[in-house]
């Protein structure tokens, strides 16, 4: 049997990555620091140097997902620094692409009993919840600030009749629904569904 590596330089990151896989596969009840340590070829005690229990590791997994999500949205916005309408469209494409390419993130954050258990684990720790809320707010702020810029520039436009919250709900609901349908393969399409989603967002009904 190969000797376990007790001194991973990047053990914390490895625990988060392997923990995500395990959480997606086995759910909250089947998740444990011991199992994650085994997946990392580390000692059973090694995860406790970074996380005091499995809920803290789950929180770290959530923060990692939200950080990557926020980065993807911000990169989309940055492509069009002077055009809020295009920012919102590109951000919609990025939203769908992110969850289609990472369906385990979608399942963990939004779908099935796993997402409920995930949120419950965060709520057990008030201090940790404050940090988690900040990460969620970062992603939501990118969306809401882009909508605000878009609203400020439209005049005599059909969207100008919508208040900001309604426009956020409309934009978010459209891209979130497409992300779920495509990621779960519930929409049958012979071509590339991501390209079809992009066509819908850029050429058809979205913010025209």
Higher pLDDT, 208 or 53: 53
Q: Do 23 and 95 reside in the same domain of the chain?
A: no
CATH number of the domain bearing residue 40: 1.10.10
Q: Assess whether pLDDT exceeds 60 at residue 5.
A: no
Q: Which of 51, 74, 90 is the last residue of a domain?
A: 51
Percent of the chain at pLDDT above 70?
Answer: 76
* pLDDT for residue 95 is more than 70: yes
Q: How many domains does the chain have?
A: 2
Whether residue 110 sits in one domain with residue 8: no
Are residues 76 and 29 part of one domain?
no
In a domain, 208, yes or no: no
CB atoms closer than 10 angstroms to residue 48:
13
Q: For residue 27, is it within any domain? A: yes
- Kindly tell me if the per-residue pLDDT of 31 is higher than 80: yes
Query: Per residue in 78-87, pLDDT tens?
Result: 999 999 989 9
Q: Is 147 exposed, middle or buried (0-12, 13-18, 19+ CB in 10 A)?
A: buried
User: Which domain covers residue 147, as residue numbers?
Assistant: 55-203
- Res 130 pLDDT > 80: no
Residues 61 and 27 in one domain: no
Q: What end-to-end distance do the CA atoms of the chain give, in Å?
A: 62
The residue out of 36, 51, 66 marking a domain boundary is 51
Does 38 share its domain with 66? Answer: no
pLDDT value at residue 6: 47
Choose among 188, 190, 182: nearest CA to 103: 182
Same domain, 99 and 190: yes
Report yes or no: 124 and 52 within 8 Å, Cβ to Cβ: no
With a CB cutoff of 8 Å and minimum separation 6, the contacts of 6 are 42, 43, 46
Question: Is residue 109 one of the residues assigned to a domain?
Answer: yes
Question: Model confidence at 110, in pLDDT bands (50, 70, 90)?
Answer: confident
């Amino acid at each position: 049997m190969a000797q376990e590596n007790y001194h991973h330089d990047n053990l914390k990151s490895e625990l988060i990555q392997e923990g995500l896989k395990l959480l997606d596969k086995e759910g909250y009840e089947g998740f444990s620091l011991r199992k994650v340590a085994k997946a990392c070829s580390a000692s059973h005690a090694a995860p406790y140097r970074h996380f005091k229990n499995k809920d803290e590791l789950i929180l770290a997994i959530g923060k990692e997902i939200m950080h990557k999500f926020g980065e993807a949205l911000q990169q989309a916005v940055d492509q069009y620094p002077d055009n809020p309408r295009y920012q919102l469209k590109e951000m919609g494409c990025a939203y769908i692409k992110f969850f289609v390419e990472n369906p385990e993130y979608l399942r963990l954050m939004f779908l099935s009993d796993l997402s409920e258990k995930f949120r419950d684990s965060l709520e057990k720790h008030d201090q940790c919840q404050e940090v988690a809320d900040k990460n969620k707010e970062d992603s939501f702020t990118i969306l809401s600030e882009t909508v605000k810029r878009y609203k400020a520039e439209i005049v005599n436009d059909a969207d100008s009749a919508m208040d900001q919250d309604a426009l956020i709900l409309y934009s978010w609901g459209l891209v979130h629904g497409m992300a779920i349908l495509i990621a779960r393969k519930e929409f049958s399409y012979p071509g590339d569904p991501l390209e079809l989603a992009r066509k819908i967002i850029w050429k058809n009904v979205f913010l025209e």
